């Protein structure tokens, strides 16, 4: 199918974009990378009356670091984060590990991190990372600006706390401590599929004991999940990583955290080729592996 | 909407509906049918073209988004005298096409990467990532990978000379 007819504007400033979005009597959609929106328009699951193309709005492509915070504008493309240097320290390394899992280079050249948060696909890598690392979503409308903490933002599949007339102008991430270890591991059927399950982890260790840990689960429920119960069993634990090539023993804290994430934190839905039981098994294994990857980063 | 697309260096003043995707406008309005449409879902990559030098899916971009931008399609690869592009020569030498439906997309994704960074041949991982970007139902991919590596090596030796 082809997209149904719509009106199109390409504003040059944020204010012009907000004015266009303010017309709430019509179905008005922001066009960022278009890598989800135009697909949905092809399928005619979305038939906007007006498309507001923000690609010519000056300043939205800014990526800046100040005071321990990274600010990512609405036009920063997925591909930027393939370089671990795009963002300093462990956060940049985590973004780089995750970015290569998002579709493939031509999609990553257009799609944006902010667009992924706006779309809120349950299998979005960025959404789970934003949740686990306490990102803040900055939105604006003609009525003013507000900030939404990632933990209050996701409401369900493709559902968020953003109002229809609000533009997400940027995302802010606090920079984790320099010595934080990070991991990201994804399982999917083919290169073109979304994640069946993916896990993001950030681990901070003081005097050999885990002082902070964050586990984000991708496609393990109807929305991104932070594995709080699994994190709890890790705080204060000693970090012992088996030798390279050795399996994680069943009683290892990382393996136990994996089991708890799968049984208590996750609420996997049935998908074609993956029933909930299978997916719980994958979650348990991947959480263990991702924590191990993060711990290896700490010890290096 | 009135727009101007610059395709392979030529200006095309056009009047297009906003709902029309770049691929359809290239094929139907510019009459450049080298760009193929397979899935129209961003998956197969047959429609890949360069917009301002970057490989993108022309099925997931509106033509109006490209107003004033420079688009390059497979028709723009050969030199002015019809001399095939190094990638086209390499695809032929390595038998990197059978039915040819996927070929324009593979050529453009490779051309974008090679022109942005002529040293991609030094990084087989990246070439692997490029080959994974698109779908080919005939060749089994290995000849395509070899062709891209061959063209990269050839352009590297040209640069050294
Ligand atoms: C073949 C293929 C494979 C893919 N694989 C993956 C994958 O593995 N993982 C993954 O996460 N994604 C995947 N995607 C989706 C891709 O990452 C999209 O880029 C992303 O979901 C949306 O970003 P976008 O910038 O393209 O947004 P768009 O498509 O432009 O917009 C998506 C939605 O968000 C809204 N929106 C966008 N930006 C804003 C804003 N600033 N303020 C308010 N609303 C906004 C739009 O109105 C629209 O409703 C894939 C896409 C394709 C085609
Ligand atoms: S037709 Fe565009 S990716 Fe398949
Ligand atoms: S040559 Fe036939 S699809 Fe690739």
CA atoms within 13 A on the CB side of A214: 22
pTM of the model: 0.97
List every span in chain A annotated with CATH 3.30.390.50. 181-299
CA B66 to centroid of ligand 2, rounded, Å: 17
Closest residue in chain A to residue B105, using alpha carbons only: A106
- φ and ψ at A285, to 5 degrees? -70, -45
Ordered domains of chain B (ranges, CATH): 2-75 (3.10.20.30), 86-160 (1.10.150.120)
Q: How many CB atoms lie within 10 A of CB A213?
A: 25
Higher pLDDT, A297 or B108: B108
Cβ of B147 less than 6 Å from ligand 3: no
Query: Which of A53, A55, A107 is the closest to B42 by Cβ?
Result: A107
Q: Whose CA is nearest to atom 50 of ligand 1?
A: A103
For residue A285, pLDDT over 90 is answered with yes
Mean pLDDT by 10-residue block, N- to C-terminus, for chain B (161 residues)? Answer: 97 98 98 98 97 97 98 96 95 97 98 92 90 95 97 82 62
In CATH terms, A63-174 corresponds, of 3.30.420.40, 3.40.30.10, 2.60.40.10, 3.30.465.10, to 3.30.465.10
Contact B109 A51 (CB under 8 A): no
Q: What angle do CA A81, A245, A218 make, to 5 degrees?
A: 40
Give percent of chain A with pLDDT exceeding 70: 100
| B55 vs A contacts (CB less than 8 Å) | 105-106, 109
Q: Is the dihedral angle over the CA atoms B62, A96, A201, A170 positive or is it negative?
A: negative
**Quick one: pLDDT at residue A273?**
85
Mark yes or no for CB contact B19/A2 under 8 Å: yes
Q: Quote the CA–CA distance of A237 and A263 in Å, as a whole number.
A: 21
DSSP characters over A88-135: -HHHHHHHHHHHTTSS-HHHHTT-BHHHHHHHT-TT-HHHHHHHHTT-
Region(s) of chain A under CATH 3.30.465.10? 63-174
Give the pLDDT of residue A291: 97
Checking DSSP bridges between strand A209-218 and strand A225-226, what pairing results, if any? Answer: antiparallel
Nearest to B132 among A6, A53, A191 (CB): A191
DSSP track, A164-220: TTPEEEEEEEEPPPTT-EEEEEEE-SSTTSPPSEEEEEEEEEETTEEEEEEEEEESS
Contact B60 A51 (CB under 8 A): no
Considering chain A, what is the average pLDDT of its residues? 96
Gap between the Cα atoms of B137 and A62, Å rounded? 40
pLDDT at residue B161, rounded to an integer: 62
Write down the ipTM of this complex. 0.94
Largest CA distance in chain A: 62
Q: Which class would CATH give A181-299?
A: alpha beta
Q: What's the pLDDT score for residue B157?
A: 78
Q: What CATH number should be reported for the domain whose range is A7-56? A: 3.30.43.10
Record the tokens describing residue A195, joined without a space. Answer: 């994640």
Q: Does A31 touch chain B (CB under 8 A)?
A: yes
- A38 neighbourhood in chain B, CB within 8 Å: 21, 59-62
Residues B56 and B39: their CA atoms lie apart, in Å, by 15
Q: Of A148, A116, A145, A164, whose CA–CA distance to A15 is shortest?
A: A145
**pLDDT value of position A258:** 98
A25 at B interface, C-beta within 8 A = no
- Residue whose pair of structure tokens reads 């979650």 in the numeric block: A283
CATH 3.30.43.10 residue ranges for chain A: 7-56
Please state the rounded mean pLDDT for residues A39-67: 97
């Amino acid at each position: 199918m082809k997209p149904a007819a719509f009106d199109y504007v390409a504003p040059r400033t944020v204010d012009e974009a907000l004015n266009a979005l303010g017309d709430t009597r019509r179905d008005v959609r922001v066009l960022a990378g278009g890598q989800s929106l135009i697909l949905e328009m092809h399928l005619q699951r979305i038939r906007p009356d007006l498309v507001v193309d923000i690609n010519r709005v000056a300043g939205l492509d800014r990526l800046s670091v100040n005071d321990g915070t990274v600010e990512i504008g609405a036009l920063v493309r997925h591909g930027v984060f393939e370089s671990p240097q795009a963002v300093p320290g462990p956060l940049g390394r985590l973004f780089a590990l995750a970015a290569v899992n998002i579709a493939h280079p031509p999609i990553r050249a257009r799609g944006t991190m902010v667009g992924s948060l706006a779309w809120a696909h349950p299998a979005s890598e960025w959404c789970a990372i934003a949740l686990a690392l306490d990102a803040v979503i900055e939105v604006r409308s003609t009525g003013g600006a507000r900030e939404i903490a990632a933990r209050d933002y996701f409401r369900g599949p493709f559902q968020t706390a953003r109002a229809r007339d609000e533009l997400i102008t940027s995302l802010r991430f606090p920079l984790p401590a320099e010595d934080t270890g990070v991991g990201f591991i994804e399982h999917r059927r083919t290169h073109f599929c979304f994640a069946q399950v993916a896990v993001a982890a950030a681990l901070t260790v003081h005097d050999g004991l885990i002082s902070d840990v964050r586990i984000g689960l991708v496609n393990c429920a109807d929305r991104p999940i932070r594995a709080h119960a699994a994190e709890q069993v890790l705080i204060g634990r000693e970090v012992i990583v088996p030798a390279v090539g050795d399996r994680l023993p069943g009683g290892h804290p990382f393996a136990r955290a994996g089991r708890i994430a799968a049984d208590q934190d996750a609420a996997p839905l049935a998908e074609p080729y993956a029933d909930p039981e299978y997916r719980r098994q994958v979650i348990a294994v991947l959480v263990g592996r991702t924590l191990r990857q993060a711990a290896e980063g700490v010890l290096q | 909407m009135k727009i101007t697309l610059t395709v392979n260096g030529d200006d095309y003043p056009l009047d297009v509906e906003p709902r029309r995707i770049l691929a359809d406008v290239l094929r139907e309005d510019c009459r450049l049918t080298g760009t193929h449409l397979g899935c129209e879902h961003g998956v197969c990559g047959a429609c890949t073209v360069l917009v301002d030098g970057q490989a993108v899916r022309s099925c997931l971009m509106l033509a109006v988004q490209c107003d004033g931008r420079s688009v390059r399609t497979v028709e723009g690869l050969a030199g002015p005298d019809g001399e095939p592009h190094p990638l086209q020569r390499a695809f032929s030498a390595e038998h990197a096409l059978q039915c040819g439906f996927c070929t324009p997309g593979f050529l453009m994704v490779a051309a974008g990467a090679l022109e942005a960074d002529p040293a991609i041949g030094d990084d087989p991982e990246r070439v692997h990532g490029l080959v994974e970007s698109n779908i080919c139902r005939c060749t089994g991919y290995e000849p395509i990978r070899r062709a891209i590596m061959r063209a990269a090596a050839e352009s590297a030796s040209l640069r050294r000379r």
